[in-house]
Structure 1
Amino acid sequence: MTDPTTQAGATAPAPRTGDERTGGVSERNIGLLGDRKKARLDELARATADNGGISLFRDALQRLRRNPVAIVGAIIVGLFILVAVFAPLIAPHDPAQEFDALTKNLTVENIPGATDGHPLGSDPLGRDFLSRLIYGSRQTLFVGVLATLIGLSLGVLLGAIAGAFGGWVDVVLMRLTDVMLALPSLLLAITLVAMASRSSQWTVIFAVAIVSVPIFARLLRGSMLAQRESDHVLAARALGVKERNIVLRHMLPNSLTAVIVQATLTFAVAILDAAALSFLGLGDPDINRAEWGLMLGVDGVHYFEARPELAYYPALAIIVVALGFTLLGEAMRDAIDPKNRR
């Protein structure tokens, strides 16, 4: 008869080795893997230190330099700004001056074309059309910059308040922006200008600015809500930093990048909206002030059969400048997007 103790000893499992306890990887191998990982991390750290590190701004700038779309947009925007700033030096004549050589044979059916000293001919009042086109860039830049800055300031203020406080404040402000976004931007701008007792250059600026406010507000509010639960914000709260300082020093600066990029795209929309209002006769009533939308609406449409160039040149200028800001803004948005990094 077999001894029970002998049978139990024969069938008892052998002690598990270190490789079996760790799934085939010994403690020594784990230590080797950890050393290799640490060495690789040290190597990457040294390489980053040798290169001085790459900031978000520097990385985005390098990506923009390699992007042909960004280069084309930057060239268009740069030329537009240069022409607008140095218009008095570039324009061959005073844009409000009427010339005898142009008014001598001027009629409704006969508007002089290119002549000596006037490469693009005359406008319907005998003024140099090229000079008015160049000065029109100044007016377009002025309206676009002010409208974008005002809309950006108000949108950042509303978005920061909604993102910082949340709760019923966020609900009320976002419902107001939803109402504004539900209306087409041009229709809302026309409504705002029509409410003014008298249309002027400033009514156009404020109307276009108000239209862009909900875009900035929504974008900043979404960015700030994403920042509320980020690690650096939670760490600041744990250290007892005041909520005001958290909003102003941590949440707001880290949320403004996308808003600034959006401002570039909004600038293109502001130019189109301002030109559309002037085209419809709701812009600046001063016919002596050169502005592309006004030139397109007053001169181009009314005298299209006599001289279609009066409509072609302002329309082409508006399209090219808006395209330049759009290309640059889209390239900037792609450059700062973490999902597009390699």
Structure 2
Amino acid sequence: MSERTVEPGPDSPAAAAQRSRTAGSGVGVLADKKKARLERLAQASADSGGVSLLRDAVRRLRRNPAAVTGAVIVGLFVLMALLAPLIAPHDPVIRYPELTKDLTTDTIPGARDGFPLGSDPLGRDFLSRMIYGSRQTLFVGVLATMIGLALGVVFGAIAGAFGGWVDVVLMRVTDVMLALPSLLLAITLVAMASSSSQWTVIFAVAIVQVPIFARLLRGSMLAQRESDHVLAARALGVRQRSIVLRHMLPNSMTAVIVQATLTFAVAILDAAALSFLGLGDPDINRAEWGLMLGVDGQRYFDVRPELAYYPALAIIVVALGFTLLGEAMREAIDPKNRR
């Protein structure tokens, strides 16, 4: 009689041993591949001398189309603001006879020779006012953001460094401010002033941004309080002030600086909204996109809607540029997104 080979069943000890050997070999292969990959990365890092966090973030920003687009928009905006006297074809304050001769309450001259965008309601070159408006918009946005950043860093550093009742009081104040819509809070602050001006707009927009920076920095510093280098400094007897200023604060500022880029776009929109509502700078000779959109664009929209279209489009494009750049910077420095 011929001998029959008995195959082990799926639940037999032999089958279980075979599956274990197969799984073990698979895990071993994956471990070898991972080890080889780590060795290649280590060798590449050693050959290049190591890659710092800043260099890695810059490299990732250069590969991000959104970051490149935002950087180009922001760069063009800053250049136009800085070189406005050289770029603008005419003085933005002078009323030109070529434009005023055809200017009536129902007619505002459009494009013509020497004036590509035509006239504003007072017979001034609209293109020159748009170019000079970038300077004023940049000035308001930068100053409001810097003031809000400085105050937010002070409050956030105090709350994150000391904790206790100081942290509770400061955070409850920021919670109240964050509970109110930013534009409504800015309108309230401007309305409390005796008279509206450029500086009331700047300070109102700055105060609105303070709780955002304060809460962000406070959270970062709370995470730093239990880190190894801070615990080591405390164990060595380093003073609390030195620990806060030399260890905790510098390591917590990266996210705050990135947030400032995003907040700049919000500051431009809030300042433009205040000017649109008639709470901004009352000086009609000062060219500012929000003021141009609110005063001229709204009043003469039926006569010449381009007076509203161009400032609105400029505000949207610039805000989009800062938003794209800020979001890309936030993703580039986030350790969770590193590959």
Which position in structure 1 is the counterpart of 2:110? 113
For 2:58 and 2:330, locate their aligned partners in 1 and report how far apart those are by CA, in whole Å.
12
Task: Determine if the alignment matches structure 1 residue 97 to structure 2 residue 94.
Answer: yes
CA deviation string 1:280-322 (max 9, x = no partner) = 1100000000000110011101101110000000000000000
Match of 1:328 among 325, 328, 336: 325
SS at 1:198 equivalent? coil
Which position in structure 2 is the counterpart of 1:213? 210
Q: Flag the 1:39–1:63 CA change in 2: closer, same or farther, 3 A.
A: closer
1:223-302 counterparts in 2 under 5 A?
Answer: 223-302=220-299
For 1:122 and 1:41, locate their aligned partners in 2 and report how far apart those are by CA, in whole Å.
65
For 2:37 and 2:109, locate their aligned partners in 1 and report how far apart those are by CA, in whole Å.
75
Which position in structure 2 is the counterpart of 1:193? 190
SS at 1:139 equivalent? helix
Which position in structure 1 is the counterpart of 2:170? 173
Match of 2:55 among 55, 58, 71: 58
Which position in structure 1 is the counterpart of 2:179? 182
Amino acid at match of 1:164: A
Contact residue 108 and residue 303 of structure 1 kept, 8 A: no
Which position in structure 2 is the counterpart of 1:5? none
Shift of 1:172: 0.2
1:133-144 counterparts in 2 under 5 A?
Answer: 133-144=130-141
For 1:75 and 1:290, locate their aligned partners in 2 and report how far apart those are by CA, in whole Å.
24
Match of 1:68 among 52, 55, 65: 65
Q: Flag the 1:112–1:39 CA change in 2: closer, same or farther, 3 A.
A: closer
Q: Flag the 1:209–1:241 CA change in 2: closer, same or farther, 3 A.
A: same
Amino acid at match of 1:287: I
SS at 2:85 equivalent? helix
SS at 2:118 equivalent? coil
Shift of 1:49: 3.0
Which position in structure 1 is the counterpart of 2:128? 131
Shift of 1:235: 1.3
Amino acid at match of 1:146: L
Task: Determine if the alignment matches structure 1 residue 48 to structure 2 residue 45.
Answer: yes
Amino acid at match of 1:173: L
When the two structures are aligned, how many residues end up with a matched partner?
Answer: 308
Shift of 1:192: 0.3
Shift of 1:212: 0.0
For 2:120 and 2:150, locate their aligned partners in 1 and report how far apart those are by CA, in whole Å.
38
Contact residue 264 and residue 328 of structure 1 kept, 8 A: yes
SS at 1:127 equivalent? coil
> Could you tell me the TM-score, scaled by structure 1's length?
0.87
Which position in structure 2 is the counterpart of 1:158? 155
CA deviation string 1:196-254 (max 9, x = no partner) = 00100000000000000000000000000000001111111112211111111111001
For 2:151 and 2:307, locate their aligned partners in 1 and report how far apart those are by CA, in whole Å.
37
For 1:319 and 1:48, locate their aligned partners in 2 and report how far apart those are by CA, in whole Å.
42
Which position in structure 1 is the counterpart of 2:300? 303
For 1:42 and 1:100, locate their aligned partners in 2 and report how far apart those are by CA, in whole Å.
75
Contact residue 76 and residue 324 of structure 1 kept, 8 A: yes
Amino acid at match of 2:90: H
Shift of 1:48: 2.7
For 1:299 and 1:201, locate their aligned partners in 2 and report how far apart those are by CA, in whole Å.
18
For 2:233 and 2:82, locate their aligned partners in 1 and report how far apart those are by CA, in whole Å.
45
Uncovered stretches (5+) of structure 2, i.e. residues with no partner: 1-33
Which position in structure 1 is the counterpart of 2:219? 222
Amino acid at match of 1:167: G
For 2:83 and 2:93, locate their aligned partners in 1 and report how far apart those are by CA, in whole Å.
17
Uncovered stretches (5+) of structure 1, i.e. residues with no partner: 1-36
For 2:38 and 2:302, locate their aligned partners in 1 and report how far apart those are by CA, in whole Å.
72
Task: Determine if the alignment matches structure 1 residue 202 to structure 2 residue 199.
Answer: yes
For 1:331 and 1:89, locate their aligned partners in 2 and report how far apart those are by CA, in whole Å.
32
Rg larger in 1 or in 2? 1
Amino acid at match of 1:295: M
SS at 2:237 equivalent? coil
CA deviation string 1:26-57 (max 9, x = no partner) = xxxxxxxxxxx999988765543321111111
SS at 1:252 equivalent? helix
CA deviation string 1:260-281 (max 9, x = no partner) = 0000000000000000000111
